[in-house]
Chain A
Amino acid sequence: MSNSEINLKILKLFFNFKIKPSDFINIYKRNKDIELTADYFSNKENKNLKLFDKDKYHSAQICKNFNSIIKYLYKNNVSVFNISQKEYPELLKEIYFPPPLLFCKGSSAIKNKNLKIAIVGTRNCSDYGKEVAAYLSRQLSKIGFTIVSGMAVGIDKIAHEEAIKESGGSIGVLGTGIDIEYPYESKHLYKEIIGNGSLITEFLPGTPPLKNNFPSRNRIISGISIGVIVIEAGEKSGAIITAKSAIRENREVFAVPGNIFSDKSKGCHNLIKTGAKLTESVDDILEELANYIKNPSYAKSINFNEMANNGSFKLNYSGDNIFKHELGKKENAAVNNNEGLKNFPDEDYAKVYNCLGYKEKSLEEIMVISGLGIKKVLQIISFFQLNNIAKEKNFNNFVRGN
């Protein structure tokens, strides 16, 4: 059976409220075979399976009928991924209760290999919160993160808006069916995000915004991310729930401190007290994520190529590519050699690039790490500086540019 046939089968199961998604996952986790699991429940259905209570989790009564759902999915280019598919986010598969099916509109962000990080916070945020959200979202996007959030107003909205301006794009996780645009204030965002990002939900099309669905939505936000940044959150806000599920799933939690007199920062401060990373800058985040970033399979995403290709670095220099000429000559070698290096005139550029981080590195350190001589390092650094890939932070010390 093809994946789409399997998905159709599972979709039908859920639509008829014959099985609980949690039961489905339990069985799947045991046999690790999606087809087998789907068949198992289909057979059960045939054996006059008892209808369970209309689960709060999947209350899609509003849907007219199954066929109209299918029609909607086709018409609006909604992809459906089951948990066994490679398009399904790897990290999400690891959580305690991953949704068996994901509905997805605009698949670029969900499919890219970028590290995902969530930015969440209160709906009625302060100006300070807005500023922080925009700043962190922008900075993280620029270095190749994809920003995940919940499409709500306030912090969520700002995080998305900044992120979709950059190459990494953004992922909006919905607490409704994929066809519902909620809240109304985020309406324009629904259209824009699909241009450079994805909307995902586990809820069947037609599922309205139900209060009880949002906490389970939050576990997906933290589930697909390697960490959650809480910018402003009251003591019992949804952002805190997201943070808590992140803790449960062993993801990193970052909290931005705020005004001690403001209720909006109480939740963040509580998180910090209980061990979340106090976050003032991107450096703080990168420090905690050092292990992920060092991991070669992830490191690929935090990579010059992605950044430069997608034009997130505005070239100071107006010519299309300062190295066009050299590129032509070395193209063949580069392609055979290493796909990831094809934008550099030679691999020395990658070596120097890999030395650069958010912590300042002196020229001497770069020379030692890259194993290159001063002449070459200076020339490459100069090139990076001209293209805003690197900048000199203090005398003789370099960081990634932005």
Chain B
Amino acid sequence: MFFKLDSFSLMGIEAIKVSVEIHISNGMPSFTIVGLPDKSINEARDRVKASIINSGFKFPMKKIIINLSPADLRKEGSFYDLPIALAIIALSGQVSSDLFNYSSFIGELSLDGLINPVRGILSMTQAAVQMKKNYFFVPKGNEDEAGLIKDIAIIGCADLAECIKILKNKEEVSKFVYKSHGSGNVCSNKHRVDFSEVKGQSRAKRAMEIAASGMHNILMIGPPGSGKSMLAERAVTIMPDLNYDESIEVTKIYNLVKRRKYELIIERPFRNPHHTISESGLIGGGIYPKPGEISLAHKGILFLDEFPEFSSRLSESLRQPIENKSIVITRNNVSYKFPCSFMLILAMNPCFCGYYGDKSKRCRCSKKEVEKYWRRISGPILDRIDMQITLPRLKEEDFLENVFVENSCTIKERVSKAFTIQNKRYLNDIINHNSEAGVCYINNWINQNQDLKKVVADFSKKSRLTARGMSSLIKISRTIADLENSDEITQNHFIEAFQYKILNNI
């Protein structure tokens, strides 16, 4: 006797189909799971057996073989408890339903038959849609999350008995289909923090606005107490909300790590790992690869405070993901791909003592020491930082200066407009933001305005900027122009961009 149910396994953030195949034959009663299952699946045997019995069903005293196919796929977790239990109950003739063919199943069982939520449900739901399934049976605790995907009927089951009941009642199944509560209009700033709380630092704020608009990576150099982390933390509050697809993508990533509540993420993430973080914590890894901080910052901000404290190994490991906007981790010949398109904010002190560039206190470092300190961040990473700014220590009177304070919503509106312009520009391209623009775009922009072309040509002859530095100047100019809704980059835009290139000025 043979029976088959569809379920899913996670590979990176993507879910792929796993068939739960069952064969029951007469013989010595046994219960085997094959298909390279991992240890937790072996443990599933006992859970499945106990929950079947405790839900009031019979566990057949026969020779049972479960195969999870494809066999060469490394599977993890306890996702298959529910399909395995259902398969056993169905094949032993305790329930029959047409729904089995049109449905997929996922869920972990506890000994008393309750179905516990699993992670990664969003990816699986998307996969279920792709497989053209009509129903997706998920743990009750996952139904809100699965319900984010609209093209499939989600059925949340609290326990095994309920699940069987629904399967039996084919005619009334629609009663059980999850209905979205509908998330009304979201308020404009859901964050606890606001840009208006940052006093003074007008240039840094302007720079942040530009950086956020074009997703330019930015380095902040300033003494402790200049408000670097304060600004970084607030940068997400001026970025436009994630659109639906982005939300789903970000949520999918987050659902691979433990979370308190599985719900759709609308806000752009802000991640600020400490410099003691491990490489796999930052980049992603583990035996069953999990996304690292860089992927958790996808579509949002990765903030690395005290960047010189990060080991060179760590900062070197960032290079590839920054370039590719994704990270591929290979385990046992299987590659897991996690997206990581983030805006990088780095912060550092200006020197060892922290007073370099301070108006009121003298820096005690020698010129050599300062240079040495700055060299810590030089190299491949710095090449990928479009903007660099300095922040002074704030004085009392700066705190009083309230005139130029704008709140996050106001700035967000401008940034959103710049996003829209970029969306239009890159509609037929794989990139989304000015910071990702390649040579073709840059040359086009320069050629649009003959005066600009001349200035750029003259300047690149004179300046110490590398070709990369030069093109990042143009990219910043492009974003400045977008913020003004200007089709062309003018000389003024280009000139302002120099404000954010201090590393070439010092």
Contact = CB atoms under 8 A, between A and B. Distances in A.
A379 B391 contact: no
A319 B455 contact: yes
B458 A378 contact: no
Which of A325, A367, A377, A397 has the most B CB atoms < 10 Å from its CB?
A: A325
A379 B495 contact: yes
Interface in B29-79: none
A329 to B, nearest CB: 11
A21 to B, nearest CB: 54
Contact of B458 (A318, A368, A397): A318
Nearest to A384: B495
B280 to A, nearest CB: 36
Given A316-B462, A317-B462, A382-B496, A397 B491 contact: no
Contact of B398 (A317, A364, A381): A364
B499 A317 contact: no
Given A316-B462, A317-B459, A322-B455, A394 B496 contact: no
A379 B481 CA distance: 12
A216 interface: no
Interface string B378-412: 00000000000011100000100101100000000
A323 interface: yes
A378 B499 contact: yes
Given A382-B499, A392-B505, A364 B200 contact: yes
**Chain B at the A interface: SS class:** helix
Interface in A363-386: 363-364, 367-368, 373-375, 377-379, 381-383, 385-386
Interface stretch (B139-147, B201-209, B233-241): B201-209
Contact of A363 (B202, B495, B498, B502): B202
A396 B498 contact: no
Contact of A383 (B200, B392, B459, B495): B495
A395 B498 contact: no
Contact of B491 (A318, A322, A394): A322
Contacts of A386: 495, 498
Interface string B453-479: 011001101100000000000000000
Contact of B392 (A318, A381, A397): A397
A352 B451 CA distance: 24
A378 B496 contact: yes
A385 B398 CA distance: 24
Contacts of B321: none
A314 to B, nearest CB: 11
B359 A360 contact: yes
B461 A318 contact: yes
A9 to B, nearest CB: 59
Nearest to A387: B495
Contacts of A319: 454-455, 458
A378 to B, nearest CB: 5
B358 interface: yes
Contacts of B117: none
A303 interface: no
Contacts of A362: 200, 392, 398
A395 B357 contact: yes
Contacts of A39: none
A23 interface: no
Contacts of B495: 322, 379, 382-383, 386
A381 B404 CA distance: 18
Contacts of B458: 317-319
A397 B202 contact: no
Contacts of A377: 202
Given A381-B499, A396-B392, A367 B492 contact: no
Nearest to B203: A363
B407 to A, nearest CB: 15
Nearest to B393: A395
Most buried by A among B222, B358, B390, B455: B455
B390 A396 contact: yes
Nearest to B502: A392
A90 interface: no
B350 interface: yes
A326 interface: yes
B205 A374 contact: yes
A362 B206 CA distance: 15
Given A382-B496, A382-B498, A395-B222, A326 B203 contact: no
Nearest to A377: B202
A326 B491 contact: yes
A394 B398 contact: no
Given A319-B455, A364-B398, A378-B499, A395 B462 contact: no
Nearest to B493: A379
Q: Which of B222, B403, B458, B499 has the most CB of A within 10 A?
A: B499
A395 B459 contact: no
B96 to A, nearest CB: 71
Nearest to B492: A379
Given A395-B358, A396-B203, 13 more contacts: A317-B459, A322-B495, A325-B491, A360-B359, A367-B404, A373-B404, A374-B205, A381-B499, A386-B495, A392-B390, A392-B505, A394-B357, A394-B392
21 contacts: A317-B459, A319-B458, A323-B491, A325-B451, A362-B200, A362-B398, A363-B203, A364-B398, A367-B403, A368-B403, A374-B205, A377-B202, A378-B203, A379-B495, A382-B497, A383-B495, A385-B505, A392-B390, A395-B222, A396-B390, A397-B392
3 tightest A-B contacts by CB? Answer: A395-B357, A395-B390, A395-B392
Interface of A: 316-319, 322-326, 360, 362-364, 367-368, 373-375, 377-379, 381-383, 385-386, 392, 394-397
